[in-house]
Amino acid sequence: MKKAGIIGAGSWGCALARHLYNNGNQVTVWSVLEDEIQMLKECHEQKEKLPGVILPEDMEFTTDLEAAVADKDVLVLAVPSPFTRSTAAKMAPFVKDGQKIVNVAKGIEEATLMTLSEIIEQEIPNADVAVLSGPSHAEEVGKGIPTTIVVGSKNKETAEFLQNLFMSKVFRVYISSDIIGIELGAALKNVVALAAGIADGLGYGDNTKAALITRGIAEIARLGIHMGGRIETFYGLTGIGDLIVTCASMHSRNRRAGILIGKGASMEEAMEQVKMVVEGVYSAKAGYALSQKYQVSMPIIEQVNEILFKGKSASEAVSELMLRDKKVENIDLRQLYQNSVEIPW
C-alpha cells in the first residue's frame, strides 16, 4: 500500500482518488475550497463536478496542504492548469527531495509558454515530476469504465513505479519518455476540441469533424516535432487518441463550450454555462504564440484565437479555413525528425 496525496478535488482529482483507493492505496484529497471539502466529507461525492461517483467512507479530505503533501509516496497534481504554478509554489515548502509528483492537468502557461511539468520543476526543483495523459474522461474513470493512458517521465524507474501504481484491470497504463510530446498533445487537443464544438454549434456534420480532427493532429504534430517531441507520440494515445475522445464526447467541457460559441454565445458566456474551467481557452493563445515562435503553420489554432479573442464570427472562420491556398496533404515529417532524436531510456 502506498500513500497518495491528490492535490485538487475536481472531477479528475476525485476520479483518480477513487481509482487509487480501489488499487489498495491510502488516499488524501486536498482542496483550497472549504465548501468543497465539507461537501466531500459529508456526502463522499463531488456533487457538482462528478455526480454519481461515490468516494469511500475512510478516504481523507482536507484543506491542510501540508497534511496532504507530507509523507506521501506520490502526489497527484490535479488542479486546473491556470492554478498549477500558484499551487506548486504553495506545495514547495512541504515537498521532500525526490518526491514523485505526477501532473494530470493539461495546458500551457500563456505568459511563459512553459508546459505544466516545466512549471512544477521550476517551482519545486527538488521533485521528480512526471505526467499522466490520454483519452480519459473523469466521468468514465470514476465509474471504472476501461481506459488506457500514458505516463511520461524522464526517469524509467519513476515511469514504472507510476505504471504499477495506476495499473488495474480497468485502467491500462503505458509509459513514455516523451514528456514534451505528451504535454503538447494534451494541451492543444483542447483547442481543436473547441473548434469541433463550434462546428457542431454551427450545425455542421461528421465530415467537418473528421477534417478538424485529422488536420488538427497534423498541426499539433508539426509544432511538437519542432519542439523536440517524437512523431509516434502524436499518433498515439496522448495525441490522436485524446483528440478523438475530446472532440467527439459531450463529457468534454471544451466541446460543450465550443457548441455554445457556435450557437452565438461569447467565450465568457460559454465558460459560465459550462461551469468548469475550459482548458482550451487558456491554451489557445499559448498555442498560437508557439506557432509564431517556431514558425509553424497552425490555421485551426489561429482561427480559434480569432473567434475567442478578436470577435470573428465562427462561420467566417470556417470559410477562411476552407478557402485558404491549395496545399499538398502531407509533408514528410521524418525530414523534421531527422532520425536523430535520442530516447533517454
What is the amino acid identity at position 306? E
Rounded CA separation 137/321 (Å)? 29
Residues known to be catalytic: 189
Strands of 26-30's sheet in order across: 60-62, 26-30, 3-7, 74-77, 100-103, 128-133, 147-153, 171-176
For 218, the grid coordinates are 497534423
Q: Where would I find the H helices in the chain?
A: 11-22, 34-43, 65-69, 84-91, 116-123, 138-141, 156-166, 179-201, 206-226, 231-234, 242-248, 253-262, 267-274, 279-293, 299-310, 314-322, 333-337
Residue 269: count other Cβ atoms within 10 Å of its Cβ. Answer: 13
Secondary structure (3-state) at 45: strand
CA 88 to chain centre: 17
DSSP 205: -
C-alpha cell of 326?
491549395
Closest CA to 283 of 191, 196, 197, 217: 191
Position 215, amino acid: R
